[in-house]
Amino acid sequence: MKIAVASGKGGTGKTMIATSLAASLAPGFVIHFLDCDVEAPNAHLFLNPELTGISPAVIAIPKIDPDLCIACGKCVNVCQYHALAMIQEKILVFSQLCHGCGSCALNCPVSAISEEEKIIGTLHQGKTKHGIMHYVGKLTISEPMASPIIHKLRKLPQTNPDITILDAPPGASCAVVSTVYDADFILLVTEPTPFGLHDLKQMLGIISQIGIPAGVIINRHGIGDKVVETFLTQTSIPIMMKIPYKHEIAIGLASGKVLTDFKPVYRRKFRALFEIIKAHIIADPGEP
């Protein structure tokens, strides 16, 4: 079972929720935790895995052989990322825009395109003291493409766990879709402010298109206004948990602890949340 934690707006508490869910389920289940926020991964600060395995995340970028190239422009036309352009019968490669999909080489009628390896980041794995297998991708600074490394990270685990928890990047862009697209359930963490609502709506738009059941957790409940709750009453999306805005929670998180470790009452709440998530998945398995 795959549960993704996403938000739209950044800093709403995705990692707090994802690590708490993982830690409270770890005693009974084999858990894989995938930190897909590859631009700024931080779940390891809370789960403290011993990161042992490290491997480069490599994508294949095109290299054009000018002697073979017939300047037909097919590679430029098939590249949906605009990583290739043609001027005066010469192909230019913009490697930072390349996702490494290989379409250009596949479509070249004269096999003028070979592929060169480019390292865009690193993949790490290790076990936490909770017994969770922790996987994290780190994008190299100045590399702009998060999606390819997320795809590599998703393929890293060699075994099948009971539950995979996917900690998504903030925003509502390709990188988020690459994280959540095949989840069985998406937990959306928001805060009760107009900004939280605005980005929550963007995420709900994406989710309704990919057809995955979802629920909302309102974090920092008590600040802001009622806009999120009022909006959700007009939808079929349930509010699954409210976490109050409390100084003691901020202190615990700032000291690098998992919420369910310094506030054990939340362990039971997160286990109950998991049961509700399971019921939702059974009731609404989403698109095949």
Partner 1 sequence: MIIMITSQGTTLKSKPNQIFGRSLMFIKYDTENDKWEAFMNPGVNEPGGASIAASQFVIDQQSSAVISGNFGPNAFRLLEAAGIQMWTFDPSCVSIEDVVNAYKKNQLTPFLQSRKN
Name which of 181, 127, 154, 121 is nearest 34 in CA terms: 154
Residue with smaller CB distance to partner 1, 94 or 181: 94
Name which of 36, 283, 99 is nearest 184 in CA terms: 283
Told to check if 106 binds partner 1 by CB under 8 A, we report: no
Please report, as residue ranges, which positions from 4 to 63 form the binding site for partner 1 (by CB under 8 A).
none
Residue with smaller CB distance to partner 1, 88 or 236: 88
Spatial distance between the Cα atoms of 178 and 126, rounded to a whole number of angstroms: 22
Name which of 86, 145, 91 is nearest 113 in CA terms: 91
Q: At what angle do helices 14-25 and 265-283 cross, to 10 degrees?
A: 90
CB of 97 to partner 1, least distance (A): 5
E strands in 96-204? 113-127, 133-139, 163-167, 185-190
Given 97, 227, 239, 276, the residue binding partner 1 (CB under 8 A): 97
CB of 277 to partner 1, least distance (A): 30
CB of 130 to partner 1, least distance (A): 37
Residue with smaller CB distance to partner 1, 90 or 246: 90
CB of 93 to partner 1, least distance (A): 11
Beta 31-35 vs 185-190: how paired, if at all?
unpaired
Contact 11, 18 (CB under 8 A): no
E strands in 69-175? 84-87, 90-93, 113-127, 133-139, 163-167
Binding residue count for partner 1, defined by CB under 8 A:
15
Binding mask 57-96 for partner 1 (x = CB under 8 A): -------------------x----xxx-xxxx-x-x-x-x
Residue with smaller CB distance to partner 1, 25 or 84: 84
Residue with smaller CB distance to partner 1, 42 or 96: 96
Spatial distance between the Cα atoms of 14 and 219, rounded to a whole number of angstroms: 9
Q: Which residues bind partner 1 (CB under 8 A)?
A: 76, 81-83, 85-88, 90, 92, 94, 96-97, 173-174
